[in-house]
Amino acid sequence: MDPYVPERILVQEESWQDDITSGILERLPGIEIRTVKSSDIRCTEQSVGIEAPLQDRNTLILMRYPGNFLKRCQGSGADICCNYYIVSCVWNCHLECTYCVLQSYLSGGALVACTNFDDLLKEVERTLKRSPQKIFRIGTGELSDSLALDPITGFSRRLVPFFAGLPNGYLELKTKSDCIANLEGLDHRGHTVVSWSVNSKRVCFSEEYKSPPLKERLEAALQCQKWGYKVGFHFDPIIHYADWESEYRETVRDIFRSVDPAGVAWISLGALRFPPHLIDVVKKRFPDSKIPYGEFVPGHHGKLRYFRPIREEIYGKMVSWIRKEDLQVPVYLCMESFTVWERCFGRQFCDASVLCEQLDKAVLGRQ
Amino acid sequence: MICQEISIKEIDFENETFRISEEVISAPLNESIRRIGQLNPVVLLKSDQSYRIVCGFRRLNALRQLNTPTVFARILESGSSGSLDFFDLALWDNLSHRQLDPLEKARVLYKLKNDFGVSDRMLIRIYLARMDLKPHKQVLRAHMVLHESHPDFRGHFKEGRLTQASMEYLSTVSSTSREIIASSLAKIHLSSSLQRKIFRLLDDLAAIAGAEPGKALEDPQVREVLNNPRLSPAQRGEKMYAILYRLRFPRVAQAEKLFMERKQSLGLPGSVRITPDPYFETPDLYVEFNAHDAERFRKLAAELFEASRKPELDRLFQID
């Protein structure tokens, strides 16, 4: 995977005081740096960045994030939710997957890294201490790839040991990258799951064209297992196309041939869904992509998604292929309806508390 | 101002440099001139051998049709101003007594840009506003597209059968597709929302098949509908949309068809409405009826009860 190297770095004036800033700048020598005023920074719930014309992926912004870092995953509105939390320290992504919702979700193209990392850690610690009996599964890969920028930010070297010290906190680093070098030698104490977004080889090649191929993602997963990390896999988004069955079947086989099944914390399945206006964005940005031409219908949450029988067919087959390889690994659906859960797993598993318990056990069980 | 009588034979009708009117034949104007003659002078530009028309294309055509030997004209000398000044004069003359239609506005902008070399910036700043258009580059672009579009599409547009957005879409397709779409459009009538939906379906089907957008219109089902003389143009449009929708969303369309068939097999009266969850996202059904008295209520409830005992009801919950 080509490393991310920005053409310019914009540093918010207050961020010069933060260690994170100097660390990042040391790792990116010879790049144009400009200081920007706080008033030039735009920061809302939906968008973090700076006004045009510097809003593109060649710009890296280092800034103090003034909002709450820790939020409930947007899946909390789904019929059956895994009760996941997200913590954001990087916004946007340079991998530019054709289907990526960040194209429309974050209005600007610049990558943003927060420099007030201590605030993030304090907020997480405070929240977890308030509910000591509750297990918090927290991921960083919602508004960016968890590790793609890690060679520059080094955030994983702070997060992993920090979570190791939290009795009820478990970190998930969700990535498509092979940027795992920083994870070596960290004292994670089983509190970090490194997971990969995986897909059929064809989709990896055509729609995730800046990400490493499947083989390299699985090699990185195996390496993490060797360092003692639990790993996870997310088939998300699953794309429905003519040869999807044989090609996704192959990916399932490749996973279980590449890593130790006992060290797999979970596998999630999520068929492609996206806000309606993203179709036009994808058509414009990636005219060769076939993604916009699936049989999509409007869903309950305003997003387009595959027609339910198509999703049920996808999930049913995926679950059967996974179960042929391993009977134990927790498999769950992301952002799916009660109806689909029931038809895929049976009524007894259609319970959010059962799902949460299963996933909590997955992180607790193998410490 | 010098006005004089000019022999109509000296006028160069072929030269349309300053023409703005989309139609140069006007029946009411012909009738008016036939009854009371020419009231106002036309404006002509003197050239070497003849006179070019600056203002009055429709009047002059009417006079020619009426075999009038001479016309009353104001004569301009070519050395007095540049060509753009004469075109401006023609434009102001038209704007002074009527609203230009969109095709005429498009013609004006196209000529200003291509025949008189006016820059986009000037067109946007000065001419768009002059013709009551928003001074924006998109508006200019849209009018350029309009002027350059297929003659059939221009005709449909003028008749209000194609929207500006549709004209823009049609300007992006290949000439082969344009021909196919033009011949299809001649047989149907589409609302503006249906135009948008159909062109989107054509685009999607083309991308799926790796073909031209017009290809889907060669589908035998579509051809059959288009050539069905018993259907009105609006009915053909609706049916064509339904076929294209089925081609684009085969599983959804199949589920909708199954649902209708199974619903009908319950044998319920039309006043009992059974609708599925939108796009069958859940198996839920919504049952609704209205009754104006207790007797009617009992009758419908009994029919529902009867339907509930039929095995077909189970199949209504199994659409996938």
CB atoms within 10 A of CB A321: 17
| B204, B281, B320 ranked by CB distance to A299: nearest | B281
State how far Cα A366 lies from the chain centre: 22
Q: Do B278 and A290 touch (CB under 8 A)?
A: no
Spatial neighbors of B308 by CB under 8 A, at least 6 apart, are none
| A293, A297, A338 ranked by CB distance to B252: nearest | A297
A360 min Cα distance to partner chain B (Å) = 29
Q: Do A290 and B208 touch (CB under 8 A)?
A: yes
Classify B293 as helix, strand or coil: coil
Q: Looking at beta carbons, which residues of chain A come within 8 Å of B278? A: 297-298
Domain boundaries, chain B: 1-98, 264-316
Q: Cα(A32)–Cα(B166) distance, rounded to whole angstroms?
A: 46
Is the backbone peptide bond immediately before A237 cis, with ω within 30 degrees of 0? yes
What's the mean pLDDT in A32-58?
74
| B204, B208, B282 ranked by CB distance to A337: nearest | B282
What does the block give as tokens for A342?
Answer: 């029931």
Taking each helix axis as running N to C, give the angle between helix B233-248 and helix B250-265, from 0 to 180 degrees, rounded to the nearest 10.
Answer: 110
Q: Do B249 and A307 touch (CB under 8 A)?
A: yes
B246 min Cα distance to partner chain A (Å) = 11
pLDDT at A351: 76
| A298, A300, A310 ranked by CB distance to B251: nearest | A310
Classify A211 as helix, strand or coil: coil
pLDDT at A367: 40
| Type of residue numbered A80 | I
Tens digits of per-residue pLDDT, A125-175? 999 999 999 999 999 988 899 999 999 999 999 999 999 999 999 999 999
Residue tagged 């999520």 (tokens)? A270
What does the block give as tokens for A155?
Answer: 């955030």
Residue tagged 């959010």 (tokens)? A352
A240 min Cα distance to partner chain B (Å) = 13
Q: Cα(B188)–Cα(A16) distance, rounded to whole angstroms?
A: 66
Is the backbone peptide bond immediately before A53 cis, with ω within 30 degrees of 0? yes
Q: Do B320 and A339 touch (CB under 8 A)?
A: no
Q: Do A293 and B255 touch (CB under 8 A)?
A: no
pLDDT at B32 over 60: yes
Q: Do A308 and B252 touch (CB under 8 A)?
A: no
* CB distance B53 to B12 below 8 Å: yes
Q: Do A298 and B280 touch (CB under 8 A)?
A: no
Query: What does the DSSP 8-state code read for residue B5?
Result: E
pLDDT at A77: 53
What's the mean pLDDT in B12-37?
90
Chains A, B: CB contacts within 8 A come to 44
| B251, B280, B319 ranked by CB distance to A295: nearest | B251
Q: Do A297 and B283 touch (CB under 8 A)?
A: no
Q: Looking at beta carbons, which residues of chain A come within 8 Å of B282? A: 308, 337-339
Nearest to B286 by CA among B272, B296, B297: B272
pLDDT at A366: 46
Nearest to A160 by CA among A216, A230, A84: A230
B253 min Cα distance to partner chain A (Å) = 10
What's the mean pLDDT in A300-319?
93
Could you tell me the sign of the dihedral formed by the alpha carbons of B286, A276, A91, A48, in that order? negative
Specify whether the backbone of A67 is left (phi greater than 0), alpha (psi in -120 to 50) or beta. beta
Q: Do A339 and B279 touch (CB under 8 A)?
A: no
B249 min Cα distance to partner chain A (Å) = 6
Classify B226 as helix, strand or coil: helix
Spatial neighbors of A138 by CB under 8 A, at least 6 apart, are A70, A84, A85, A86, A87, A124, A163, A169, A170, A171, A172
Q: Do B280 and A290 touch (CB under 8 A)?
A: no
Tens digits of per-residue pLDDT, A172-218? 999 999 999 999 999 999 999 999 999 999 999 999 999 999 999 99
CB atoms within 10 A of CB B31: 11
pLDDT at A324: 96
Query: What does the DSSP 8-state code read for residue A329?
Result: S
Phi, psi (degrees; rounded to nearest 5) at B277: -60, 145
Q: Cα(A324)–Cα(A300) distance, rounded to whole angstroms?
A: 33
State how far Cα A319 lies from the chain centre: 21
Q: Which residue of B has its CA nearest to A242?
A: B208
Q: Cα(A282)–Cα(A292) distance, rounded to whole angstroms?
A: 7
A298 min Cα distance to partner chain B (Å) = 8
pLDDT-derived band of residue A55, with 50, 70 and 90 as boundaries? low
- What are the DSSP E strand ranges found in A167-229? 169-175, 192-198
Residue tagged 């994983």 (tokens)? A156
For a pLDDT cut of 90, what percent of chain A falls above it? 71
Mean pLDDT of chain B: 91
pLDDT-derived band of residue A37, with 50, 70 and 90 as boundaries? confident
Tens digits of per-residue pLDDT, B135-154? 998 889 889 988 888 888 88
* CB-side neighbour CA atoms (13 Å) of B194: 18
Q: Do A339 and B283 touch (CB under 8 A)?
A: yes
Q: Do A307 and B250 touch (CB under 8 A)?
A: no
Count of residues in chain A: 367
Per DSSP, what are the bridge partners of residue A87?
A70
Nearest to A200 by CA among A247, A268, A259, A246: A247
pLDDT at A124: 97
Any idea what the Cα angle at residue B162 is, between residues B156 and B168, rounded to 5°?
110
Tens digits of per-residue pLDDT, B160-193? 888 888 888 888 888 889 889 988 988 999 999 9
Q: Cα(B9)–Cα(B77) distance, rounded to whole angstroms?
A: 19
Could you tell me where the DSSP H helices lie in chain B? 27-36, 57-65, 83-97, 102-114, 120-122, 129-130, 137-148, 151-158, 164-170, 175-185, 192-209, 220-226, 233-248, 250-265, 294-308, 312-316
Q: Which residue has the higher pLDDT, A80 or B109?
A: B109
Any idea what the Cα angle at residue A46 is, between residues A43 and A50, rounded to 5°?
35
Q: Do B279 and A310 touch (CB under 8 A)?
A: no
pLDDT at A250 over 80: yes
Per DSSP, what are the bridge partners of residue A12?
A36
Tens digits of per-residue pLDDT, A174-183? 999 999 999 9
* CB distance B285 to B274 below 8 Å: yes
CATH T-level topology, domain B1-98: 3.90.1530
Q: Which residue of A has its CA nearest to B281?
A: A308
What does the block give as tokens for B198?
Answer: 């159909």
State how far Cα A153 lies from the chain centre: 17
pLDDT at B165: 86
* CB distance A265 to A229 below 8 Å: no
Name which of A295, A296, A308, A336 to mutate to probe chain B: the one with the most chain B Cβ atoms within 10 A of its Cβ. A308
pLDDT-derived band of residue A70, with 50, 70 and 90 as boundaries? very high
Residues of A with CB under 8 A from a CB of B: 290, 292-293, 295, 297-300, 307-310, 312, 337-339
Q: Looking at beta carbons, which residues of chain B come within 8 Å of A337? A: 281-282
B171 min Cα distance to partner chain A (Å) = 17
Q: Cα(A106)–Cα(A44) distance, rounded to whole angstroms?
A: 10
Residues of B with CB under 8 A from a CB of A: 204, 207-208, 249-252, 255, 278-283, 319-320
Q: Which residue has the higher pLDDT, A109 or A327?
A: A327
